[in-house]
Amino acid sequence: MKTADKIYFFLMLICLGLYVSAGKSFAADIQVQAAVDNQDVFVGESINFQIQVQGHDSPPEPDISQIKNFRVQFRGGQQNSSTSISYVNGKMHKVTNRAYIFNYIVTPLKAGQLTFPAIALNIDGHTYQTRPFTITARKPVESENFKLRQQLSKDHCYRGEPLILTTTWYIGKDVKNFEFNLPLLDDPRFTVYSRQPDKLPVSRDDQFEIPIGSQKYTAIRGTGTLDGKSFTTLTLQQTVIPRRSGNFSLPQATVSCKALSGYSRRRSRGFGAFEDDPFAGSFFGNSNRRVYRTEVVPANEPLLKVMPLPEAGKPDNFSGLIGSYKISTQATPTEVNVGDPITLTIKVSGPFVDNVKPPSLAGLAASGFKVPEEMASGTLDGGNKIFTQTIRARKKNIKEIPAINLSFFNSATGSYETSSSRPIAISVHPTRIITALDAEGAAEKRVKKQLKSTTGGINFNYDGAEVLSNQEQAKISPDLIILILAGPPGCFLLLLGLTLLQRRNRDPEKAMAKKAAAEFNRELDRLGGKGGPAELAQALKIYLGLKLSRPSAALTFLDIKPRLQSANVSREILEDLRLILEQGEAAQFAGGTEHPETMKESLERARQLVAELEKRLGK
């Protein structure tokens, strides 16, 4: 090898080494780790799970599909970068730490030692993995203060038959931050639909919207007795449809909550309580503080026998519906010409119509009607499902819209049945082209004689009354001239005004956010000291919902905490907000009022909190 070639070879090795070392150095700058906020939990108890990335502020979302035995809900990601500035010998040194956090809520689905596997993240062409770790999930145990009961409307049914599942939580203590865990929602053996309770309360204060999974359920607060003890109850219902045959027990449901376990004496702020525990204080100013502990309440596991549908007597057009159903139709108009549109309304009634599909209209097509290939999905109207379709008669002298059939399996009689709508009488006339003379109502046709052409021009040899027209030149009035000249500028000004108005109202959420504080203060003025913790918490939820563009109905402290932290809201303000919301929720479900003087202090502190939030969140 020549000397020049050796030098070139060694230079290439040096460059390659520098490249590899640079890549290793870059890779070493990024670190990923996974963590939970509690490693000893109950089955059905939700905990926070984070994947933290150090050294990068915009990593791609990781694949968490390999996490088993947990229900995982993604709660969004956020940058967690920071910058520090220091001066050494008069020179400024700026250090930026880039970081990102992925937030999840995870719920263990079975008891035992459950493992979070290593989760891979691909960042800028390099793969990083978190370390696997294990948590302990304990089986929940029922207590004397809390019970959870589930009951099916029937303990035996046919496959595909809708059943009503009633879940009742018996509450014997003050609670807050409760969460239902219903594994039935993810069970492939069943299809579950939300359902309005059979009986709604007289007062809307006893009606609540509870998020469970991806749906919201209406829960009703009441009272009840179980095992000789009186409880406050919270009841919700679902429609459950078994998809398989066999003998089953429903997967165990749970509800987790923070239950009042006692009171502790709180140290005064003047003696440094916030130095030891930044969340120890309370804006209520009481010497005693409520102490809550986590409780997870297990439910019973109802047994269900699911029988297959009989094959004998099953019609070819079986709809798949189980129960007793009826079908009826209406049409308008009923007197038309060939090809005119007819609006056909089909109503299906029965025990459960949410998943009813449009009935077949093949009989209409065979009777001389034009029917679109696809039908609308329909709308729910109480216990009915309404389908609306446009049909057209293809030929004249059609006398009726024939009956439409709906087949179903009647579980009460154990046989297949068919419901038919009544035929609708109609009149279809032939189509006739209407001429201009028909529209004018002329009695006879007028024929113009053929024009004769000569070398001198055209001889006008019309005859008839139509030639007697006034040839005087038309005059334009001054008002019309003014209108013509002023029209275009006027239209321009009108469009300009509409555009400005549209721009002004383009962001209604921003406009509502600006008015949120004023609305909150007006609500407190309206309460005038007569409201309690529940009313104060509701007013604060409405304010935060408007300010953060979030639905206020199911807003919790955990929903708003990350957003407020990113706005650099102090920990003291966060703690006071948390206490307002949690004590309001406790008052909703377990009753109780505050002393007038204490409530007055609470209202005043709430005004101060909103004023501070306005500074942080912007007006």
Of the CA atoms within 13 Å of residue 115, those in its CB half-sphere come to 7
DSSP label of 443: S
- Which tokens sit at 111? 């008891």
Q: How confident is the model at residue 619 (pLDDT cuts 50, 70, 90)?
A: low
What is the average per-residue pLDDT within 471-498? Answer: 63
Q: How far apart are CA 369 and CA 404, in angstroms?
A: 13
- Which tokens sit at 260? 């009042």
Q: How far apart are CA 210 and CA 184, in angstroms?
A: 16
Q: How far apart are CA 605 and CA 609, in angstroms?
A: 6
Of 111-120, 380-389, 486-495, where does the model show the most confidence? 111-120
**Residue 165 predicted with pLDDT over 60:** yes
Closest CA to 269 of 251, 249, 289: 289
Higher pLDDT, 192 or 279: 192
Q: How far apart are CA 7 and CA 20, in angstroms?
A: 20
What is the average per-residue pLDDT within 494-508? Answer: 62
Q: Which residues pair with 207 in a beta bridge?
A: 220
3-state class (DSSP) for residue 469: coil
The answer to whether 385 and 378 have CB atoms below 8 angstroms apart is yes
Tokens 């028909």 -> residue: 438
What is the average per-residue pLDDT within 226-251? Answer: 93
Per-residue confidence (pLDDT) for residue 610, from 0 to 100: 86
Kindly tell me the burial class for residue 441, based on how many C-beta atoms sit within 10 Å of its own C-beta (0-12, 13-18, 19 or more). Answer: exposed
The answer to whether 239 and 164 have CB atoms below 8 angstroms apart is yes
Residue 270 backbone phi and psi in degrees, to 5: -65, -15
Q: How confident is the model at residue 284 (pLDDT cuts 50, 70, 90)?
A: very low
Decide: pTM greater than 0.75.
no
Mean pLDDT of the chain: 79
CA-based angle 488:493:497, to the nearest 5?
Answer: 150
Give the number of other Cβ atoms within 10 Å of residue 235's Cβ: 19
3-state class (DSSP) for residue 302: coil
**Low-confidence winner among 183-197, 257-271, 275-289, 533-547 (lowest mean pLDDT):** 275-289
In single-letter form, the type of residue at position 581 comes to L
Closest CA to 405 of 421, 417, 393: 421
* Structural domains for the chain: 31-138 (2.60.40), 146-306 (2.60.40), 317-429 (2.60.40), 508-617 (no CATH)
Q: How confident is the model at residue 369 (pLDDT cuts 50, 70, 90)?
A: very high
What is the DSSP annotation of 362-419? HHHHHTTEE--SS----EEETTEEEEEEEEEESSTT--EEPP-EEEEEETTTTEEEEE
**Residue 494 predicted with pLDDT over 60:** yes
**How many helices and strands (H and E) does the chain possess?**
10, 37
Q: How confident is the model at residue 250 (pLDDT cuts 50, 70, 90)?
A: very high
DSSP label of 299: B
Q: How confident is the model at residue 515 (pLDDT cuts 50, 70, 90)?
A: confident
Per-residue confidence (pLDDT) for residue 418, from 0 to 100: 94
Could you read off the pLDDT of 301-338 as tens digits, one per residue? 999 999 999 999 999 889 999 999 999 999 999 999 99
- Which tokens sit at 205? 């204060």
The answer to whether 299 and 148 have CB atoms below 8 angstroms apart is yes
3-state DSSP helix/strand/coil % of the chain, to nearest 5: 25, 35, 35
What is the average per-residue pLDDT within 367-391? Answer: 88
**Low-confidence winner among 11-25, 225-239, 267-281, 536-550 (lowest mean pLDDT):** 267-281
The answer to whether 171 and 146 have CB atoms below 8 angstroms apart is yes
**Residue 19 predicted with pLDDT over 50:** no
Closest CA to 100 of 66, 76, 129, 64: 76
